Amino acid sequence: MSRHRTLDAALVALVAVSAPLVAAATSAASETAVRTYILPGDEVFPEGIAVHGDTYYVTSSGGDIYRGDLDEPEAEVFITVGTFVPTGGIKATGSRLVVARGSAGIVGVFDRITGGFVRRFANGLSPEETLINDVAIAPGGDAYITDSIRPVLYRIPAADIRQPSAAVEDIPVFLEWEGTPFPNIPGAINANGIVATPDGKYLIVVNSETGGLFRVRLSDKHVTQVDLGGYTPTGGDGMVLTKHNVLYVVRFFDSVVAKIRLTDGYQRGQLLSETTDASFQDPTTAGIAGRRLLVVNSQFLGPGTPPFTVSSIPLP
């Protein structure tokens, strides 16, 4: 074989080896890179997020609900609810979106595929008396909703979420905080983020003002404070819980995401890490998309200028 042919063969062999290595390096870099999704509009001020498959949904204080594809850089307006209807948390089921609508005292239910209106629940209170804040969907399909001002926890049965209705229904109260260890401080943001445990037995609720984390046993509504070993996630806002009982708590004022491992029947928790990023802008909540965490940048404290974004970071 000639020398040139030997070099050519060596180059072919080198390319054959290097190509997958380069592809693997590029893939690894992509997995660790921080990305952002853009929410179009000049006054979005996003707040809640839900992830379903390759699609994410984001609420905004302007009232619109956005929908985005994880593979696309920009979301779109999916549902236009109305003129400045303050909107909070959102959760997705197989066919529905359940949306907390803040000081309007409303929980709206929409078709997750078409965006069509399904039904509405309301507590009939003034904006000074209520702040319906976040939503959790239990494994059985029931929705549990926090109110940051009124000292109650709401529950909407799964059957009512599925069934369309033109009537405005009362939001059923599931639990009153009075007489439990959960504090409700006048003038403060109290019950905020909420998650349901994978076993369907408990809810975990954070009190934003005190930083306390509380477990609600669904069978008898018994409330206990979670022992975090001295850690206090003050300013706790939205939360997300994995099937392995790792809880992510978004701390709004500190712009960090706390990673906590819950143990002993959700009675104890250990802080594993706190994560922040330069892309965070007053983060309110998060959702898990595969091996990544989507963090909503509200810009509630400023500057309030576009683009409004959702940060995508590697799962801490």
For 28, other C-beta atoms within 10 Å of its C-beta total 10
Query: Both 27 and 170 in a single domain?
Result: no
Query: Both 199 and 178 in a single domain?
Result: yes
Here the tokens at position 50 are 């839900």
Query: Both 16 and 56 in a single domain?
Result: no
Domain count for the chain: 2
Query: Both 6 and 47 in a single domain?
Result: no
pTM: 0.90
- The CA distance from 166 to 117, in Å, is 9
Query: Both 180 and 93 in a single domain?
Result: yes
Query: Both 104 and 187 in a single domain?
Result: yes
Query: Both 11 and 73 in a single domain?
Result: no
Query: Both 178 and 266 in a single domain?
Result: yes
Q: What is the CATH number of the domain that holds 96?
A: 2.130.10.10
Query: Both 11 and 66 in a single domain?
Result: no
- Residue by residue, pLDDT tens for the chain (316 residues) are 333 333 343 333 333 334 454 444 445 456 789 999 999 999 999 999 999 999 999 999 888 999 999 999 999 999 997 656 778 999 999 999 999 999 999 999 999 999 999 999 999 999 999 999 999 999 999 999 999 999 999 999 999 999 999 999 999 999 999 999 999 999 999 999 999 999 999 999 999 999 999 999 999 999 999 999 999 999 999 999 999 999 999 999 999 999 999 999 999 999 999 999 999 999 999 999 999 999 999 999 999 999 999 999 999 9
Q: How far is CA 218 from CA 140, 162, 198, 204, 264, in A?
A: 12, 21, 13, 11, 17
Phi first, then psi, for residue 28 (nearest 5°) are -65, -40
Query: Both 229 and 277 in a single domain?
Result: yes
Residue carrying structure tokens 């020398």: 3
Query: Both 85 and 220 in a single domain?
Result: yes
- The CA distance from 208 to 194, in Å, is 11
Range of the domain at 15: 1-33
Q: How many CA atoms lie within 13 A of 245 on its CB side?
A: 15
